[in-house]
Homo-oligomer: A and B are copies of this chain.
Amino acid sequence: MYLSKLFIPILKDTPSEAKVKSHQLMLRAGMIRQSSAGIYSWLPMGFKIMKKIEQIVREEQNKIGAQELLMPTIQSAEIWKESGRYDDYGEEMLRIKDRQGKEMLYGPTNEELITEIFRSSIKSYKSLPKLLYHIQWKFRDELRPRFGVMRCKEFFMKDAYSFDLNDDEAKKSYNKMFFAYLSTFKRLGLTAIPMAADTGPIGGDVSHEFIILAETGESKIYSDKRILNIDISKHGNENNSIEDLRKKYDEFYAVTDDKFDKKIFEKKVKKENQLITKGIEVGHIFYFGDKYSKPLNCSVDLQDGKKVDVKMGSYGIGVSRLVGAIIEAKFNNNIMKWPSSVAPYEVAIIPTLQKNDNTNYLRAEKIYKSLVKSNVDVLLDDTDEHLSAKFKKFDLIGIPFQIILGSKSTDDKHEFKELNGKTEILTLEEIKKILLNKRNTN
């Protein structure tokens, strides 16, 4: 892509309404634009990054055998009355009357609807276990939306639901998701800690929030810092291996504010291992047994002819929020560097261009064409700005690698650097090798 063609309205100044760095960066780099309070349009670069995150989330769900479907955004109020949550949910639920006066709502979550789909589709114990998920827009009518996409009204979320015969089986499903979440966040370049958490309006007995450490986070956390050393790459997705992993995490104290008990914390965690900080919630998983299946009559026939209410859990990942969360984690010293797995482009070509001399432009174009031919996703800055202005711009865009065509360039050797790294003088073939190698490790 040529930068002059890309729809990327970069702002010179930081908009005053943006208080956290992810919100500031997303507006300045032309990733999003507010359309009304707490509601955003995703411009091409922001959209592309969000889609890459979505795809990683999807692949890790598929790996544990979850099946993707898609529920609508607008739901009937009826099933929410059946479950008893219609009145509970309060003003955050966007309530709608259609032209015939029927009570509808914009789904803030989907426990009721998936239970309705399941009960009308599955009759026998033989069809269990099942893991179903969708990635869909949700709406919560926040009174004070803030922090850009981190706490907004319309947001993109993956929510999965598990259906099992009994608690033991349900625990396996829960642990599978636990594992999938850790793998997902790892691929996104994030260290997420699962923390025992309160279940809130979803309900149930067991719950973990997945939190990435960030001073700007809204969640206060208390943890044993050794939990950060657990290496998930040693674990496969078989049940035994997942159970071992789960046990490792359970060894260490890690809770959110709601679950914090000072006495237990100080007894269990030595002073030097105590980690008290803030974080951003990027995922939340729940086990709630028959909380929804019972009122909604979602049961299956057992082998002996009896019926049993299915045991359910639900599992959320904030896909749009993750765009902001990754920025909070990676935007430092005014330089953004996207993890390669979700970067908007693999490499940028940044030439100095002079009006009376098109040597560099021709060089840049030649490199561009060769990279495109090798299926490298590349952005060429063909604008006539000064090199210093270009660098500032690319500190916002955050493409992890740069090919710089300045005074040191020759026809065969180019300045190449990884953001925050050292400049090397390399041939195009050497550069390609580095880029393709990076891609294979994602």
Contacts and interface: CB of A to CB of B under 8 A. Distances in A.
B117 A76 contact: no
A359 to B, nearest CB: 23
A96 B96 contact: yes
A106 to B, nearest CB: 7
Given A47-B68, A96-B96, A113 B35 contact: yes
A75 B120 contact: no
B74 A106 contact: yes
A122 interface: yes
A129 to B, nearest CB: 10
Interface string A35-76: 110011111100110100000000000000101111111111
A72 B6 CA distance: 21
Contacts of A429: none
A70 B99 contact: no
B69 A44 contact: yes
A35 B94 contact: no
Contacts of A4: 126
- How many chain copies? 2
A17 interface: no
A69 B43 contact: yes
A132 to B, nearest CB: 6
A137 interface: yes
Interface in A127-159: 130, 132, 137, 139, 141, 143, 153-154
B91 A122 contact: no
A35 B72 CA distance: 8
A10 to B, nearest CB: 10
Contact of A39 (B74, B126, B139): B74
Contacts of A132: 7
Interface string A96-140: 101100101010000001001100111000100010100001010
A147 B326 CA distance: 44
Interface string A1-32: 00011110100000000000000000000100
Contacts of A70: 41-42, 47, 50
Given A96-B94, A130-B7, A75 B121 contact: no
Contacts of A50: 70
Interface of A: 4-7, 9, 30, 33, 35-36, 39-44, 47-48, 50, 65, 67-76, 78, 91-92, 94, 96, 98-99, 102, 104, 106, 113, 116-117, 120-122, 126, 130, 132, 137, 139, 141, 143, 153-154
Given A9-B121, A94-B98, 9 more contacts: A4-B126, A9-B122, A36-B75, A39-B72, A41-B72, A48-B68, A74-B139, A74-B153, A92-B99
8 contacts: A33-B120, A35-B72, A39-B72, A39-B75, A39-B76, A42-B69, A47-B70, A48-B68
